[in-house]
Amino acid sequence: MTGEPLSILLVEDNPDHAELAIRNLDDAKIVNKVHHVQDGQEALDFLYNRGQYADCAAYPRPHLVLLDLRLPKVDGLEVLKEIKSSDLLKTIPVVILTTSSAERDLAMAYEHHANSYVTKPVDFETFSSLLQDLGYYWLAWNKRPW
C-alpha cells in the first residue's frame, strides 16, 4: 500500500496473544507499525499522547484499535467508552478482540459503540487468519473519513 503509514494500537495484557497478533499483522504487510500496550491506562495515555507517549511523531494516532476487554488498571469497556465519547478519538475504529463470548460483554461493547466484536479463536491457524483478515478489512478495504 502507498500513502500514509498505517498503524494499529494493540491493547492486550496477555504476552502470548500480543506476540501472536503482532507477528501475524506484520506478516500481512498492510500495517507499518503495531504499537502494543498492556493495560487500559497505558492505552489512554497512548491515545492522548500523555506521559511516556507524549511524542506525537513516535506515537501517532492509530488507524485501528484492537482492544481486549479484561485489562489491568482500566477495563477495556472503560477504554472503549472514553474513545467513543471523545471528539478527538471517536472516529478511530475499535475492534474488541477478546476471549469472552458472554452475551453481556457483547451487548455492552456495542452499547458503547464498538465497531466490531471478535472472540479470539483457540487454535493458532484460525487466530492467525482472523488477525490478517481484520487487518485487511479495517486498513485496506474499509473506507475511512480521514
Say if 146 falls within a structural domain: no
Q: What's the rounded Cα separation, in Å, for the pair 138 and 63?
A: 8
Tell me the mean pLDDT in the region 53-77. 95
Which three cell numbers mark 11? 491493547
Total domains in the chain come to 1
Say if 101 falls within a structural domain: yes
pLDDT tens for each residue of 99-137: 888 999 999 999 999 999 999 888 888 888 888 888 777
Please list the alpha-helical segments (H only) found in the chain. Answer: 15-28, 40-47, 76-85, 103-111, 124-135
CATH of the domain at 74: 3.40.50.2300
Say if 24 falls within a structural domain: yes
Say if 49 falls within a structural domain: yes
State which residues form the domain around 123: 7-141
In the prediction, which pLDDT does 1 show?
A: 41
Q: What's the rounded Cα separation, in Å, for the pair 107 and 103?
A: 6
Q: What's the rounded Cα separation, in Å, for the pair 43 and 41?
A: 5
Say if 81 falls within a structural domain: yes
In the prediction, which pLDDT does 104 show?
A: 95
Say if 1 falls within a structural domain: no
pTM tops 0.85: yes
In the prediction, which pLDDT does 2 show?
A: 47
CA distance readout (Å), 139 to 5, 118, 123, 144: 11, 16, 24, 9
Say if 2 falls within a structural domain: no
pLDDT tens for each residue of 7-33: 899 999 999 889 988 888 887 777 678
Tell me the mean pLDDT in the region 76-103. 95
